[in-house]
Amino acid sequence: MSAATTSTIPAITEFPIFKCLKEDELRRLEDMAEYKVKSKFSYIYLPDESSMHVFFLAKGTVKIGTHSEDGKEVIKSLIHPTAMFGELGVIGENRRQDFAQALREEVHIYALKVEDLKRLMRTNFQLCDKIMALLGNRLMNAESKLESLIFKDARTRIIEFIKESVSKSGRRIGYEMLLKHSLTHQDIANITCTSRQTVTLVLNELKKSDLIYFNRGKILIRDMAKLA
């Protein structure tokens, strides 16, 4: 990578999950990782492809999803910079069950062979613990989403998604919180298992109540405590 690129794109050795590695392990990691740039809306992987690589996101946003039998898209999760994704190969997945796709901007990723990652895990138990904890968190998040689908209505799911996204990626501006994102109303519907019309209706209702303001790519939360 050029100097201009490295000033904005973190090296894989700078990712939080690898802070526990020793100097020689970091050098091995650099040699093993392959740096890639994918254009907006392009797929990093598709269902039924080999799960031989795990990925680390350096820049951009990636959605992980699947399609129902009638072709409806369901977004399982959103991946933000310095996060790992496509990790199920670590615990035995041979073929992808879902897809990973860039959103409305190009994404910069590092690809690492599952076998190379496992080799590092066998020699560094802290890394092993971190990855197992990450897999556990993903499982708990999946269970939480399932409970939300069963017990909460569409409006509540949409509002909770906004609040969760702001808590993770928002920026405080005075008493307000600003979330910059790459999602369409259809994307939010696919994440919350609602419809695009319902998302638009709820967002307009919240805007009319002066709880939020939104336009393309931005949501401003007036008061997090009142957004319910």
Torsion sign over Cα 102, 192, 139, 137: positive
| Domain extents in the chain | 3-151, 154-221
| Spatial separation of the C-alpha atoms in residues 74 and 192, rounded to whole Å | 8
Owner of token pair 């904005």:
8
Is-contact 144 137, C-beta < 8 A? no
For 154-221, the fitting CATH number among 1.10.287.610, 1.10.10.10, 3.40.50.300, 2.60.40.1230 is 1.10.10.10
| Spatial separation of the C-alpha atoms in residues 18 and 74, rounded to whole Å | 31
pTM reported for the whole predicted model: 0.85
| Spatial separation of the C-alpha atoms in residues 93 and 77, rounded to whole Å | 18
3-151 architecture in CATH?
Sandwich (2.60)
Tens digits of residue pLDDT in 53-103:
999 999 999 999 999 888 889 999 999 999 999 999 999 999 999 999 999
Strand boundaries in 103-217, DSSP class E:
107-113, 171-173, 176-180, 212-215
Tens digits of residue pLDDT in 158-215:
999 999 999 888 899 888 999 988 899 999 999 999 999 999 999 999 999 999 999 8
